[in-house]
Structure 1
Amino acid sequence: MVKIAVAGGSGNIAQEVIDAILATKKHQILILSRKDAVDGVSPGTTWIKVNYEDPDQLTEALQGVDTVLSFIVAHSDPGSVAQKKLIDASVKAGVRRFAPSEWASSTFEHMPFYAGKADVREYLEKLNKDKKVLEYSLFQPGLLINYLTYPYKSTNHIKPIATPFDFENRRALILEGSETSRITLTTAQDLANVVARAVDYEGEWPLVGGVKGGEVTLGGLIAIGEQIRGGPFKVERLNADDLKAGVIKASWKPPVVHPAFTPEQADTFASTITSGLLLGFAVEALNVSDEWNELLPDYKFTGIEEFLGEAWRNKP
């Protein structure tokens, strides 16, 4: 049994991971948060309110911790200050393993909303430049396929998020000419189970930790949607120059509805996120490698058609 600290542990993905680790009945979990304890957090955890501006208090909170899993939301951490201080405190406290707040893409091309993740990658790389100070892995599942069940929930904790692939209304937005670009889709449940197994993994964590549920082209994903939803999708193909300018020339735009965003931020970021995702999809930023699949060969991932077929069964 080891002690695991989860920073930003009240978040949606974090709670899925916490539940998976608790299900093993092996480890102690500390939830680190800048907030007071909230209702609805998984039982069997210890909540610690931390101040990321107080290195000594943060280091004290991490005493005896083996692994730190960070889910600090990038836009709530300007300059990645909190996450960098968490890394420093982890080193001072003698933490063995660290997972930065990745949980998405392999690269961040065209996606400025992920800039903080790139900053933390660079910080960790410099930390281990001369010798390994902290073992870490970049957990990358691509796009969580659970978002494609919007507006219906398909996990215990993750709230649905609209994407350019709108299965409910049988429509999609893509960059023109990107139908053959590939994307990785992984269920949140599989990601959480992999992290729970990674905590127990006896070997060294891979620096790049791809978690690959399934891979499909954008055109193939639309075809799957048409088959599952029983009719053609209205596909709008957008111009790259417009998207780079943050202009969405389409009949609709995915709304940004997420607990990490205020309504004002959601409205501001809607075009930025949509254009960034479409451009990112086109360059396969959301197509990831499969390091954890290789290290955990006995784990069976849920297939794309299997998951979406079941999720949309009997839906209007």
Structure 2
Amino acid sequence: MPTLGLAGGTSPSLGRAIVTALVSAPHGPRWNIVILSRSHHRPLWLRAIDPSSLRAQVQSVDYLSVDSLTRALESVDTLISVTSAIDGSQRQIQLNLLQAAVKAGCARFAPSQWGFGPTGMEAVSTTKEVVEGVWEECLKFRNKIECTRFNHGSYMNYLGHGIFPDPQPEMYEDEQLIRLKEGGGYAKGEDEACQGLHRQGDMKDGSGAFLISLKNKIAELPQRDDGKWPRITLTMMRDVGNFVAHSLELPKWEPSMTIVGETLTMGELLAHAEAVARCKLDVTTVTSADLGQRKLEALSSGDFMAQLWAELKLGYCRDRLDEGYLEPVVNRLCPEVKPTSVKEYLQRYWADAE
């Protein structure tokens, strides 16, 4: 049985999405999983789906030590990184993982560059600095290891923030475990809807949503300079995990493994939200000029998240392939995976919350 190394795999978002997709595969065990983490801690969701560590083992590593990483990867066939270090070490961690994967003889590696497509990541200064030079380094080792970049556009799960009560009721650990076991690693309610995505969107109502907040029936949507609605690719977190799990079976990876849940216009997104809310939303449109000013204000105040949201929305305003919307590469290679549409997502979780 082959082994997947998943750097940062204890995360409640992408790590959980990939691990649960592999552990719940309908045709039984196919991949073992070695989760690289800064500690041996096994989160509740992992204990719920693999209580005896039969499929997924957590290996404590020092991400800043190539030797530590190499030892952890000795039995690993494919290494995927979902790390999200916020201490300035994210870029170096990807370079160290690459070196360790080559030394350990891994066949495949995907650095942590999730989000916009490759050129889109380079166009956003807040993401460029953490990915700059990583892919070029990967190409230097193309005769020794197959590398790719997984991208998925924006997370559909931001639409779930604000649907459920805030704060969520506190529960004892035993009760949380029961709910997580029942849901295959996801507890019914906000956890199942948001799938580990933090409440960090920039909606003015503080819901944590991005673009649309169903909590207070408001929206802030980017518009192209010609007044038309730009396109956006939205993908549900669990669908990303499912696509990645299926891609492990592919005989060859493309250099860019872009994943698409659904690509639609901002206007179509608004129509779906208004249909499920059964009312018109209070909509604010923002242009590239508005967002350029907002970016400058964020830079002067040192507000990283405000800068990130402004730059992402500027990318949508440009309405370019690989930025706001993506080509469905993995969808084409793995047609058996049927991703969730925006309409399906909103109907499913809004109905649960009503």
Q: Residue 121 in 1 paired to residue 132 in 2?
A: no
Residue 9 of structure 2: aligned partner:
9
Which of 296, 318, 326 is the equivalent residue of 1:283?
A: 318
Over 3 Å counting, the alpha-carbon distance change for 1:36 and 1:297 in structure 2 is closer
Which stretch has the larger CA shift, 224-233 or 32-41?
Answer: 32-41
Task: Look up the SS of the partner of 1:163 in the other structure.
Answer: coil
Q: Contact conserved, 1:149 with 1:160, CA < 8 A, in 2?
A: no
Structure 2 distance, partners of 1:176, 1:297, is 32
Q: Contact conserved, 1:184 with 1:287, CA < 8 A, in 2?
A: yes
Give runs of aligned pairs for residues 199-210 of structure 1, distance below 5 A. Answer: 199-201=248-250, 203-210=251-258
Q: Contact conserved, 2:295 with 2:310, CA < 8 A, in 1?
A: yes
Deviations 1:236-287 (A, max 9, x none): 12342342243599xxxxxxxxxxxxxxxxx933321221221122224131
Structure 1 distance, partners of 2:123, 2:292, is 8
Q: Residue 237 in 1 paired to residue 285 in 2?
A: yes
Which stretch has the larger CA shift, 273-282 or 203-212?
Answer: 273-282
Deviations 1:123-173 (A, max 9, x none): 323443xxx332122111111211211134234842353212222222111
Deviations 1:16-49 (A, max 9, x none): 1111111232221111112342432512321111
Q: Contact conserved, 2:232 with 2:263, CA < 8 A, in 1?
A: yes
Structure 2 unaligned residues grouped into runs of 5+: 165-189, 200-208
Residue 173 of structure 1: aligned partner:
220
Structure 2 distance, partners of 1:276, 1:99, is 25
Deviations 1:180-238 (A, max 9, x none): 2111111222111111111122x211111111111100111111111111111111123
Structure 1 distance, partners of 2:137, 2:218, is 40
Over 3 Å counting, the alpha-carbon distance change for 1:136 and 1:215 in structure 2 is same
| TM-score, structure 1 as length reference | 0.85
Q: Residue 29 in 1 paired to residue 33 in 2?
A: yes
Residue 272 of structure 2: aligned partner:
224
Give runs of aligned pairs for residues 49-198 of structure 1, distance below 5 A. Answer: 49-73=60-84, 75-78=86-89, 80-106=91-117, 107-108=120-121, 111-115=124-128, 116-128=130-142, 132-151=143-162, 152=164, 153=190, 154-155=192-193, 157-161=195-199, 162-177=209-224, 179-198=228-247
Q: Contact conserved, 1:58 with 1:89, CA < 8 A, in 2?
A: yes
Residue 252 of structure 1: aligned partner:
none
Residue 296 of structure 1: aligned partner:
334
Residue 303 of structure 2: aligned partner:
268
- Code of the residue aligned with 2:63 in structure 1: it is Y
Task: Look up the SS of the partner of 1:312 in the other structure.
Answer: helix
Q: Contact conserved, 1:182 with 1:217, CA < 8 A, in 2?
A: yes
Runs (4+) of structure 1 exceeding 6 A deviation are: none
Structure 1 unaligned residues grouped into runs of 5+: 250-266
Q: How many residues align?
A: 296
Structure 1 distance, partners of 2:100, 2:113, is 19
Residue 43 of structure 2: aligned partner:
39
Q: Contact conserved, 2:222 with 2:229, CA < 8 A, in 1?
A: no
| TM-score, structure 2 as length reference | 0.76
Q: Contact conserved, 2:37 with 2:61, CA < 8 A, in 1?
A: yes
Which stretch has the larger CA shift, 111-120 or 271-280?
Answer: 111-120
Task: Look up the SS of the partner of 2:75 in the other structure.
Answer: coil
Report sequence identity in percent. 27
Task: Look up the SS of the partner of 2:9 in the other structure.
Answer: coil
- Alignment RMSD (CA, Å): 2.4
Structure 1 distance, partners of 2:87, 2:289, is 29
Task: Look up the SS of the partner of 1:20 in the other structure.
Answer: helix
Structure 2 distance, partners of 1:29, 1:120, is 24
